[in-house]
Structure 1
């Protein structure tokens, strides 16, 4: 990774293990399980980069996902443990996504939660509901749900919502204080027909006023993103290549003078991003490079990019390679 305007304590360039994880699962029968174990980093746009030991130790431990499922039939199931969030259009780890870095909208969403989840599927509808601890807070005060409607094999529409029905004061690297007290809504559309995959989605979040968490007035974010990928066919001049591209814009409300929480780079700040990730995969081997750029406006001095938090842009170049088996 190379970046300009690094955050305090961050480096301008570095190398690390992005993923060294193993997955064990049983996906059939009445009793099922899924276990994901190992080391990782979680690079994300517009935030500091944490190396492998710190990310693994301070986020979700070396056992980030582990859950049991009871599935009496193909329609209904219940599961519990450390679960991937229902919220958002991106997953947590680099190998699960078309881009290496997670996006600006992902920064407002839970990633992995501890809790219980009900699932119901009856084509063309898929529904899930979860009681959980939100941003890995160990405070079980979150409810979230998703409803997906499959129009046909190429088109799917999803509505996803969640939120904290109480006020919780815990804050860690994995548990941002204000976001863990939010309510959030996603509207997601996915088009998937070779060679294209296109996913535009809208996001809204709201953090209510609560003096117990230092939010003396409320604040919200409004964001939109387009995630697109073009995959070259096996009989094309570039078999194995794909070109993922992501555009995002997010704005926040609130005023510093009124005691509003900072949800981006100060109350009332905005940001946009572009991410391009040319990728090559041959059997189990893959390699990809990434260019990303974030530009913020209406920032609060000291809360943006650079050692002093005064810069309003950050550009990164990344390279990731490995094997998937």
Structure 2
């Protein structure tokens, strides 16, 4: 190839690819913008009371490997995440053992199409990440490595459709349908939800009512704000069963994240309680967890995190025959 042609081709490539502060790359093609982002994490988990006999475990895992692609022409588009996630929790550092949501070792973790047929309206359909809760679909998107008790009882990713009306930048309403699983050709635990997302005086919020047909109901809220070098957030749930309204559960998770230059120290404190053995959180008595995650920013894209999560229950047999357990984690993280 001639030098002049090479220079022109190089200029075109450099002109069509730009990088944003969210560490994503944007590729502009004819009538379409393609945003590329994602992350990969490797984590060493040291977990007490990990097995049914009460013994501990020590395991190194590829905890996340996600390539997230979004293509849009301004009116319609597609968003999907390819890869694998482990979903480690306070309960278990190997919830799905490197299994993607679709049940394979790797695959489409989430994927949906969207369009805006009318001004301020957006319609999404496919395999949707939930709007419920403070914690998101991969560990590198969250302040802590392991997910909490409150997250563990919430919807996560599901087949469905969502309609959102955005009245302004600070206020939107949405309604959605979760198809649920199919049993003998009929939907099992399909769900409906309505909610709002927005902000008031610098405080971001979400509030949702989520109704699992023939199972349970969930009211969820989140509040978050920043003050100087601190981030504060709360995620609360109240749930009750359809067949017995006296069987309920509620939980609250509080997050405090101070940041000092390249160092941040996210702290999550949780309390959950089931009433009348509802089984919503899986504990017969009040249960607590505390998770501390000192994080050092190695570069714009990479971090190193050390974490200790401690859980305690008034039920003396809650964690494989014990009333407490701990999980120590060491994680390397890269986002793009």
Q: TM-score range by the shorter chain?
A: 0.7 to 0.9
- The Cα of 1:298 is off from its aligned counterpart by 3.3
The equivalent of 1:270 in structure 2 is: 286
The equivalent of 2:270 in structure 1 is: 248
The equivalent of 1:320 in structure 2 is: 331
Deviation digits for residues 25-78 of structure 1 (CA, Å, limit 9, x no counterpart): 125511111110012211011246246444666389621110000024662110
Please provide the CA RMSD for this pair: 2.6
SS of 2:60 mapped into structure 1: coil
Alignment of 1:230-245 (within 5 A): 230-232=258-260, 239-245=261-267
Structure with higher strand content: 2
Q: Distance in 1 between matches of 2:248 and 2:105?
A: 27
Q: Distance in 2 between matches of 1:89 and 1:240?
A: 23
The equivalent of 2:144 in structure 1 is: 99
Deviation digits for residues 87-111 of structure 1 (CA, Å, limit 9, x no counterpart): 1121121011111111110111011
Deviation digits for residues 255-305 of structure 1 (CA, Å, limit 9, x no counterpart): 4xxxxx423344x32211111111122111211111100001136x5xx21
Q: Distance in 2 between matches of 1:93 and 1:148?
A: 21
Q: CA separation of 1:324/1:149 partners in 2, compared to 1, >3 Å: closer, same or farther? A: closer
- The Cα of 1:156 is off from its aligned counterpart by 2.1
Unaligned runs of 5+ in 1: 168-180, 211-216, 233-238, 256-260
The equivalent of 2:206 in structure 1 is: 158
The equivalent of 1:176 in structure 2 is: none
The equivalent of 1:146 in structure 2 is: 195
Q: Distance in 2 between matches of 1:128 and 1:16?
A: 36
Deviation digits for residues 117-151 of structure 1 (CA, Å, limit 9, x no counterpart): 00111223111211013589964720012212411
The equivalent of 1:220 in structure 2 is: 248
Task: Give the number of aligned pairs.
Answer: 286
Q: Distance in 1 between matches of 2:204 and 2:259?
A: 20
Q: CA separation of 1:314/1:58 partners in 2, compared to 1, >3 Å: closer, same or farther? A: farther
Unaligned runs of 5+ in 2: 1-44
Among 91, 103, 114, the residue aligned to 1:58: 103
Q: Distance in 2 between matches of 1:36 and 1:11?
A: 33
Q: Is the 8 A contact 2:180 2:191 kept in 1?
A: yes
